[in-house]
Amino acid sequence: MTSYLIGIDIGSSACKCMIVDTTLRVVGESEQPYPTRYPQRSQAEQDPEDWYLSACRAIQSCLESSGVKANSIIGLSIAGPAHSVALMDSGGAILHPTIHWSDLRSTAQSDRLEADCGETIFRTSLCRVNPAWTLPQLLWLKENRPATFKRLRRILVVKDYVRYRLTGRYQTDVYDAIGTQLYDVHAGVWSEALLGLVGLPVDWLPEVRPAVDISGGLTPEAARATGLLGGTPVAVGSGDSVVEAAGIGAISPGHCVLKLGTAANVNLVMREARASPGAIVYQHVVEPHWFAITATNSGTSTLQWFAETFGQVMASASGKPAHELVEALAAVSEPGARGLLFQPYLQGERSPHWDPHLRGGFIGLDRQHRLEDFARAALEGVAYSLRDCFELVSVLGDPVTKLYLIGGGAKSRLWSQIVCDVIGRPLTKPVVQSAAYGAAMLAGIATDVFTGWFDAQNACALPSEDLRPAEAMRQLYDNAFGAYQALTQVLRPHARNLRRSANEER
């Protein structure tokens, strides 16, 4: 009987499930959406129950559509985003909606932590304080929801909560432990000093295990909910970015991944940990390597915002989906958008600026500009943000030897070529690019189907598409990127003042 592996990715807005055989051939896929709620301006919340239910439904759907039988599944693994945590009492009940990584409510706490002990936090966690991290989010909870914080006894990052519901095991891996900003990277333990900043006892935190260890087997309740057999092995798993990178082959120092997802990342595999104020440094699932992430808040969410803001009426009139309209409009414009520049800071910014107050704008506007120029400028603006990240991360480790382009935005030929031209380097686009695929590969390592990540990569032959930058675009985009960087620095203090004025008026 053929054996199969399951990989699950709890994404920003949907759970993706993938079934592969032991040669890593994809035999089934499914996706189940779940909501993000926005209770107030600059706030974003999710319900951990939605993560679990969407995962169960995705597994059921994948089994049904593929025809794979539950008794042929030999292991599964889960990936998911860092920082966002389920807030639980001693019995595992959810106490408060999860504060999403894009939520800015803890900006004041983040600013205070940075001012009071920013150097200690950076030195211990290798990452700067920012509202995206769990540490300032927990401090916000303590100061603004004291009754809830008093009942708090457990916190679990996204993938760990889903695995907890599947196995009953209270665990995490090093990658997601680092992502809470409560972990001492050098000592390899939870940091009592960082926990003390928010008043958390060490025993409230989960056990830290290697990502490729088996966490436990499916409980009878989880087996009924998923359609799988009780006792099916579940790996500890790891964060979506590093699992996705390993799945496409970014497993050696010098390999770099550009991801055009809801948010966008530029991620570099490093031989050793090298801290940078502009980057996030994690342990790679391929030990002993490390993984530097430069993360911008602006990715395909920028295209969605543009479509909702500028394209809805025209989309309705044309009968095309809004995102297709944006791309069609951008294709009518010309490289450089006729001198129109867009800064895509719609939700503050992470790398390389780490400024939650930063805001975006269109610059260089004159009477000649039309809607298609705004669309082109939006796509180019995200590409400039990626280059900002690439220039930071590319000097942290070994010279960059290979660049991968992945993510939902990479499905657009136009946007992919814009990114390639702006970065000015050849890019490889894997046909199969999903954290769910990397998670299935990790499940194979955890269940001894593969001896490690290099063995797993040798077992599969992923097709890919190669992109090359247009030499004719180099000077244009170099000049535009220089203007983009300079304008960001000029506008930063004004963005903070405008935010303060807007808050005072409300």
Instruction: Identify residue 167 by its one-letter amino acid code.
Output: T
Helix, strand, coil % (nearest 5) of the chain?
45, 20, 35
Distance of CA 346 to the CA centre of its chain: 17
* Strand residue runs (E) in 69-198: 73-80, 85-88, 94-96, 98-99, 154-157, 171-172, 183-184, 189-190
- Is residue 240 part of the annotated active site? The answer reads yes
Beta strand 341-343 pairing with 361-363: antiparallel
What are the Cα distances from residue 229, in Å, to 45, 353, 441? Answer: 32, 47, 20
75, burial (CB in 10 Å: exposed 0-12, middle 13-18, buried 19+):
buried
- ∠ CA(97), CA(103), CA(105), 5° rounding? 90
CA distance 153 to 204: 5
Instruction: Identify residue 223 by its one-letter amino acid code.
Output: A
CA distance 108 to 351: 19
What is the DSSP track for 367-423? TT--HHHHHHHHHHHHHHHHHHHHHHHTTSSSPP-EEEEESGGGG-HHHHHHHHHHH
Q: Quick one: tokens of 113? A: 């932590």
Q: Is there a contact between 4 and 77 (Cβ–Cβ < 8 Å)?
A: no
With tokens 């639980």, the residue in question is: 88
In the set 50, 184, 240, 421, the catalytic residue is: 240
Instruction: Identify residue 234 by its one-letter amino acid code.
Output: V
Q: Which residues are catalytic?
A: 240
